[in-house]
Amino acid sequence: MATEQGVVLKVGADTAWVKASKSTACEGCASKGSCTAMGEDMEVEALNIVGAKQGDRIVLTFETSPLLKASFFLYVFPILCMVAGAITGMHIAPKLDLDPSGSSAVSGFLFFFIAAFIVKIKGNQMSAKAKYRPKITRIIHPRLNR
């Protein structure tokens, strides 16, 4: 489980936008480039399970197991599909009297685009699940003027 500290920027119904400083844990993250970066800070939408208010200093918690699963699905699955498509195209080409290299390339890219479509659909489903989202688990310092 990874934790970060941050400040609540704005609050929604069940979520809050949090500004957090990038830490050393960010350097090893495969998704570090997709964070909404502002210099050394990033903004992230998190589930507000403790009822934090705008201006509160909080602790964010990220479950690492679902994060690793999502990273594998996002980065490795399309590559595996592309390789499987290339191998399939290479084996099918002689039966259809086609060039193995061309058939392998076309089939590989076809499988890759199908995998990207699957990742898009599955990613939307995963993002709706609470276990794939960061959570505000503790308020460190509440905002002084409430």
Cα end-to-end span (Å), the chain: 31
State the CATH architecture for 2-63+130-141: Beta Barrel (2.40)
- This prediction has a pTM of 0.64
* Crossing angle between the packed helical segments 77-92 and 100-127, to the nearest 10 degrees: 150
Which residue in the block uniquely carries the two structure tokens 């084996």? 91
Report the amino acid identity of residue 74.
L
CA distance 95 to 86: 15
User: In the chain, which stretches have pLDDT less than 70?
Assistant: 22-40, 143-146
Q: What is the pLDDT of residue 133?
A: 85
How do residues 48-88 score in pLDDT, each as one tens digit? Answer: 989 899 989 999 888 888 878 888 888 999 999 999 999 99
